[in-house]
Amino acid sequence: MHVVAAPDKFRGTASALQVATAIEKAVAEHGGTTIVLPMADGGEGTLEVLGGPNQTSLVTGPLGSLVEASWRLSGTTAVIEMAQASGLITIGGPEFNEVLDATSAGTGELILSAVEHGATRVIVGLGGSASTDGGLGAIEAMGSPARYRGIEILVACDVRTRFVDSAKTFSSQKGATKAEVEMLERRLKRLVQIYEERFGVDVSSINHGGAAGGLAGGLAALGGRLVDGFDLVADELKLDEFIEKTDLVITGEGRIDQTSFEGKVVGGVSAYASAMGKPILAIAGQIEIKAKDRIQSISLTEEFGEHLSMTETTKCVQQAVTKFLEDFNPR
C-alpha cells in the first residue's frame, strides 16, 4: 500500500509536517509507504512547505517597530510569507493591533530585499495580516516600479475576496471596531482611484484582490499575478504526480467546513484525488455537519474528545489513520 499524506496545518495544535508524519507512522504500522507532502493554501505555513526559510531580514513590523522576518531564496526564486513581516503573529494578536495604523511596509521591504539578492521570481504567500492598508505600505517600501520589470511576482492568495470587501470581511478579526471597519472601507475605495490613476489598474474588480487587507490588490497594481495559493503550492510540489502513483490520499486540517472546498487544502487535494479516481480520507479536529457528505472524513473530536484532540493532536491522527487502514483495501 502506498499513501500520499498531504494535510494542511491544524492551526494552534500541529504543523502540516507534524500531521503528515503522524500519518506516515500509521501507514508504516500496516507495512505501507508514504509520501510526506505537507500542504498550504498561500496563507501561514506556505514558506515552510516550500522548503523553509534560509534567509532573515530586519524589516518594519505592522506597527512600525523592527521585526526579524524569515524567508527563502533558492536559485533565483524567493518565497516570502507576509505574516512573517506584517502579520498579527508579530505583535501578539488582534488585541494588540492598531488597525488604522497597521502597515504592510515590511512585506514590501522583503520583496525588495529578495530582488536585491538576485531573485527574478518572487512567491508571496498571504494570510494572517495585521494590516488593511490595501498594500500601500508595501508598494511604497518596494521603491520604483522600474526595478520590477522582468521580475515575476506570484501572489499566493488563500481567499477570493474583492479589494474593497476586505475591510468588512476581515478587519474585525484584526481588532477593528465597527467604526474603524467603515473608515478602512472608505480608505480602500480611495485607494482604488489612486491605483487606477498611478498604474492604470482597476483593483476593485480583481478576484483575490482583498487578500491580506488588500495587499494582493496593491501587488496586482504593480504587476503581480494573483493566483489560488493552493494551486501554486500543488504545482510547486508536483502533487498530481505523486497522487497518480498512490493507492490512497490522506489530507486534513483543523476544521472542515464549507469554506474548506473554496480554495483551501482539503478541497484542493480532494479535487486532485477525484480527478484521478483515487480514494481520499480527510482528518480534522472538527467537521461541520454540512461538510460531512462532501468527503470521507474522521473527526478527532468525535473519536477522542475535545481535550485529547487539542492536546495530543498528532497521536490522535496516528490512531485515527491506523483504525481506518484496518478496513481499507487498496484496489
From 289, 290, 299, 295, select the one nearest 265 (Cα to Cα).
295
Note the pLDDT of residue 125.
96
- Predicted pLDDT at 44: 87
Cell of 87: 502579520
Of the candidates 172, 232, 288, the one whose C-alpha atom is nearest the C-alpha of residue 43 is 232
Tell which CATH classification among 3.20.20.10, 2.70.98.30, 3.90.1510.10, 3.40.1370.10 matches the domain 46-230: 3.90.1510.10
Q: What is the pLDDT of residue 12?
A: 87
- 330: confidence class by pLDDT, cuts 50, 70, 90: confident
Q: Is the pLDDT of residue 21 over 90?
A: yes
C-beta neighbour count of 301 within 10 angstroms: 17
Segment 310-329 shows an average pLDDT of: 94
* pLDDT for residue 63: 97
Q: What b/e sequence results for 54-92 when a residue is b if at least 16 CB atoms lie within 10 Å of its CB, and e otherwise?
A: ebebebbbbbeeebebbbbbeeebbbbbbbbbbbbebbe
* Share above pLDDT 90 across residues of the chain, in percent, rounded to a whole number: 94
Rounded Cα distance, 159 and 93, in Å:
20
Q: What is the model's pLDDT at position 263? A: 85
pLDDT given for residue 73 in this prediction: 98
pLDDT of residue 142: 97
Helix axes 16-29, 313-325, angle to 10 degrees: 40
pLDDT at 56 over 70: yes
Domain positions in the chain are: 2-39+238-325, 46-230
Q: Write down the pLDDT at residue 331.
A: 67
Helices vs strands, H then E, count in the chain: 14, 11
Chain mean pLDDT for the chain: 95
2-39+238-325, which class in CATH? alpha beta
Confidence at 158, pLDDT banded by 50, 70, 90: confident
The pTM score is 0.92
Least confident range from 130-139, 188-197, 288-297: namely 288-297
Residues 170-222 pLDDT 10s = 999 999 999 999 999 999 999 999 999 999 999 999 999 999 999 999 999 99
Query: How far apart are the two ends of the chain, measured CA to CA in Å?
Result: 9
